[in-house]
A and B are shown apart, each in its own frame.
Chain A
Amino acid sequence: MKLLVCISKTPDTTTKIALTGDKSALDANGVQYIMNPYDEWYALVRALEITEKSGGTVTLINVGKADNDAIIRKGLAIGANDAVRVDIEPQSSLSVAKQIAEHAKTGNYDIIFLGKETIDYNGSEVGAMVAEYLDLPFISYASKLELDGNTATISRDIEGGVEVVEVATPFVISAAKGLAEQRIPNMRGIMTSKTKPIAVVSPVAFDDLAVTVSYELPKEKSAVKMVDPNDMDELVRLLHEEAKAI
């Protein structure tokens, strides 16, 4: 099978968020970037398991500038065969999806993997967009994927439960927790990743339709109000009268 895994870069959750002076962007100073966990832990690892079992290749794709090469190398160290980087700073989800679809159009991939969402914007948009551009089925929030020839049986997380679907390749899938177990790159992987190719390709032209105007920081939370552990009636009263939560 020929598999494509879309990987993105995201600030680590523990990063302190600060804005640039004009509030138009995130202040990248001191921000620790990582590969989006859903892409790394679940999408990529499940793709690797499939090719390890039945043969084939795993290609990574990232839309971003050269500073993304570190996370691409990590993906190669975990086991992907090669990578494509579309050389443009990602703007809207639609433009990212357009770039991925442009590459995938001619790639003859059997399955295109994405993470269910990036942990910075939690948009969960790109997968459906890629699927639509390529006119392919899209199975979102997959927590289990079994393949039998060209037929996939997939469990997907829905509110309060699980749905099981069957679909033939080619298709697009977004990975949720459970799809695979996280892998840590080993020394050999890290060494061989250095010789694996990253093809840098030029973006296609695309006009952004949704643009970020500004950022703001949320209002400071007022200090916590401590309630006497022996007086839970008081807590209930506060929740009812003050917070209007019940």
Chain B
Amino acid sequence: MATSGADGPRHAHLRLAVIGCGERGAALASAIGQTGNTRLSLVMDAEPTAARALGERLRVPWTTSLDEIVGSPEVDAVVISTPHDLHAPQAISAAKARKHIIVEKPLATSLSDAVAMVRTARACDVRLSAVLSYRYLPHVQHARKLIAGGVLGQLLGASLIFQRDGPQSGWRVRRRSSGGGVLINQTIHYLDWLRFLSGVEPAAVSAYHAIADGTGDVEDTAVMWIHFGNGALGTVNAALCARGTGSAGDLVECRLWGRDGHISLTPPYQFYSLRLVDGKRPGQWHAFAGQRQSSNRDVVYLQRFAERVLSGQEPEITGEDGLAVQALVEAAYRSAEAGHAVRVEREPWTNVT
């Protein structure tokens, strides 16, 4: 059972190593133990105290060496949860060592780095996926099914508000290490919702951002106007300085509306449609899904990733998904800098170098 990575035989379990033992790395490492098809082989952090603490807590070997991880025959895939500027070099090293790659969002601090990661993974024939795991929240999955069932019809508009009273610190407030602030760190999950739920790609963006209340050199408040490819319009309002909201309870209000209906991912989750969808009477608001769900989005994400990779398929959330949402965020930053609307880069990413 010494073979590993993309070249090795298919195992019943995908053997994972976690790179980065901070808060998110620890959460993902813990989630690995709760899936039926993944196993944690190793944890790594450049900071030995963090690596040892997590390794001992989860009773797995730990290391401070990236080379040890990518060279290990006991590792099929790596889970990268480090400061964003480290994602690209670590992912590219792993790809060249024929390890599949799971990367915390965002893929990188820049779209060009992210494109390099995805291209390398493709060239090395390994799978790369971004942890855009908010897609797996039960109410989001339910909303997706409703929309696929015709609740909205043609998308006409979207509105997204993300608010938290949660000042950031450390590497997250440095553009060089994080790539940005509230947009790239938190709002990116919900921007991914807009793509995932509507199936329509943003075409252009206009944005403003500011450091309203925080430290460092990244924005803690931002607004965006999105022009979708089909002509629909959307607005985004994000802030980490909204009093009355807390780090344990973000305010997330997300609504999409179309020619035939409207769906709200603001609690209590509701939809309205002129179509007969899911057996619900048209012309009325209907609640869907529960307010609090017990399933863990990271566990679902890892389980689905492993299922697909073990059967030789692309993961549900691909590197291209990570690129698309990274392109949207980067377009917002370019717009804020330029003072006018900018086009969102799209596949085949030929303009990105």
Please indicate whether A and B come from the same complex rather than being unrelated chains.
Answer: no
Which residues of chain A have a CB within 8 Å of any CB of chain B?
none
B interface residues (Cβ-Cβ under 8 A, vs A): none
